Structure 1
Amino acid sequence: MQSIFDKHKRKYGYIKVIIELKNRGYQVNKKKVYQIIKKHNLKAATKTKEYKSYRETIGKAVDKLLARVYMNDKLYINMDTDITKFRINSGKLYLPPIINFYTREILSYKEGYYIPIKVGNSK
């Protein structure tokens, strides 16, 4: 197993090691191979993933109905929501508040481990 790890530059995990051993003609038990790899600390070297952001537009742009004029003289005319995602130890937590642009206050919110389908007066 050490030679397999060295030959493939420590890129093989225990499943690929099992496949390579079977290709070489050995009949092996996957649990035993896993125990031996763990005992001898033959871990596959993992690469860190780079952050890749998609810079081009996806889909088509929505018309600007408010034209960025959020202030209004009447209460409850311009309201909006935005879903914020928090990563926590037990998974992801979503927070969609409903914001009144006239008073700049949060009217309602509902946190949860899933994205709520209906927020406010959605149709």
Structure 2
Amino acid sequence: MPKTKTPAQLAGTAAEAIRALNHVTLNSKALPYPPHVSETVQALVAMVDRLPQALQQISGAVRRHAEHGLIRMDDGTDPAKAAGEVSSYLADAIDDVDKLSVSLHVAASVLFHMGTAEKAEVH
């Protein structure tokens, strides 16, 4: 039976996947034709569109930890204030992701209409 991954392990897997994408796309032949670019961007759109939910749920976890007195700050600062800061920054991140999503959706929409010219050569 496969072991269930923790949230941190799943986030690490996502980060590693983006690192691998960055590495493979250094090679100009990794995306040889426009449909390959479109397919890749479509997958990134799906990933980005899922981030706000994850960030909201993480923010909720921090809020619950603060409400139950589970947070101790190693620098002696107020745990409730720190939890509030985290929630505020995560809300900002959600707004930023929403802006990113809009731009990616527009790019994906244009890419969706791109095909490969008949005399195309991979460069």
Structure number with greater CO (CA < 8 Å, separation at least 6) is 2
Larger radius of gyration: 1
- Shorter-chain TM-score tier: under 0.3
Q: TM-score, normalised by structure 1?
A: 0.19
Q: TM-score, normalised by structure 2?
A: 0.19
